[in-house]
């Protein structure tokens, strides 16, 4: 089944404790992206990647890191989480990034709480 | 900068038609997407418009006017399962597939 998977789905952690949220897709997609979703703010892009070893900042990259060592995986790293990073996180992927109708496929989400 | 506006909430009756509007002011434009998101779930793709006009797909249609910075999503023959949030997203023209989302419209379908 074609899908985007994220782990963990739920995480409660404490301020400053490094964590990684994994994202994997099995559709051979070139483009991958991370979003956070907060009430009243909608989905905001954190980082994106157009291909292996190519990553760039989105709208809200502060406090996050990413890597794209393999095409299928795009982990999100929080080196020192803070309470303002409590949010619902979505990973997404799409076939490409040109002007075609490359809809993004979203993972199931990771609900992160930082205390 | 990017500014995308949608109504926060709407209510409609089962079997009826509802139109969800989206207006945008963005520094660039390379297509507009509509996504559906049920509570606690991932957004799923509904439609894509890059040229002016109406795109129809079953019970759902989407319209775009680039000169007015305006789009709408039309849902016909509403069903209870259509209760969800509907997200309008504009793709910029940087060459990457980056989307800027509105805050979404929560639609409640009542019997």
Give the Å distances, CA to CA, from B52 to A39, A102, B59, B62, B81: 31, 18, 20, 10, 29
Say what the pLDDT of residue A98 is: 63
Mean pLDDT of A87-96: 94
Is A108–B41 a contact, with Cβ atoms under 8 angstroms apart? Answer: yes
**What's the length of chain A?**
115
- Among A65, A74, A70, residue whose Cα is nearest residue A107: A74
Say what the pLDDT of residue A99 is: 57
Say what the pLDDT of residue A100 is: 64
Question: Residue A96: pLDDT band by 50, 70, 90 thresholds?
Answer: confident
- Asked if the model's pLDDT at residue A75 lies above 60, the reply is yes
Interacting residues of B76 by C-beta distance below 8 A, sequence separation 6+: B17, B59, B60, B61
Give the nearest partner residue to B33 out of A41, A45, A103, using CB atoms: A103
Low-confidence stretches of chain B (pLDDT beneath 50): none
Q: How many Å lie between the alpha carbon of B33 and the closest alpha carbon of chain A?
A: 8
Question: Residue A84: pLDDT band by 50, 70, 90 thresholds?
Answer: very high
Say what the pLDDT of residue A95 is: 87
Range with the poorest average pLDDT among A65-79, A92-106, B13-27, B41-55: A92-106
Question: Residue A5: pLDDT band by 50, 70, 90 thresholds?
Answer: very high
Interacting residues of B83 by C-beta distance below 8 A, sequence separation 6+: B38, B107, B108, B109
Token pair for B12: 């409609």
Q: Which residue of B has its CA nearest to A34?
A: B98
Is B97–A96 a contact, with Cβ atoms under 8 angstroms apart? Answer: yes
Say what the pLDDT of residue A9 is: 97
- Asked if the model's pLDDT at residue A16 lies above 80, the reply is yes
d(CA B22, CA A3): 29
- Asked if the model's pLDDT at residue A44 lies above 90, the reply is yes
Say what the pLDDT of residue B100 is: 92
B44 exposure class (CB count in 10 Å sphere: 0-12, 13-18, 19+): middle
């Amino acid at each position: 089944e074609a899908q985007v998977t994220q782990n963990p789905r739920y995480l409660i952690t404490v301020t400053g404790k490094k964590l990684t949220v994994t994202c994997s897709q099995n559709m051979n997609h070139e483009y991958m992206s991370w979003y956070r979703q907060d009430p009243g703010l909608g989905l905001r892009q954190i980082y994106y990647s157009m291909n292996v070893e190519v990553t760039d900042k989105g709208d809200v990259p502060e406090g996050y890191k990413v890597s794209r060592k393999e095409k299928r995986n795009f982990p999100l790293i929080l080196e020192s989480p803070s309470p303002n990073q409590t949010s619902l996180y979505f990973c997404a992927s799409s076939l490409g990034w040109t002007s075609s109708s490359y809809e993004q496929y979203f993972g199931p989400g990771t609900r992160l709480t930082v205390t | 900068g990017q500014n995308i506006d949608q109504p926060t909430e709407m209510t409609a009756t089962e079997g009826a038609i509802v139109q969800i509007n989206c207006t945008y002011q963005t520094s660039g434009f390379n297509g507009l997407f509509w996504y559906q998101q049920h509570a606690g779930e991932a957004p799923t793709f509904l439609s894509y418009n890059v040229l002016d006009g109406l795109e129809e797909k079953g019970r759902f249609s989407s319209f775009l006017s680039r000169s007015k910075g305006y789009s709408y999503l039309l849902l016909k023959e509403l069903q209870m399962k259509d209760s969800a949030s509907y997200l309008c997203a504009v793709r910029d023209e940087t060459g990457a597939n980056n989307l800027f989302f509105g805050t979404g419209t929560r639609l409640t379908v009542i019997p």
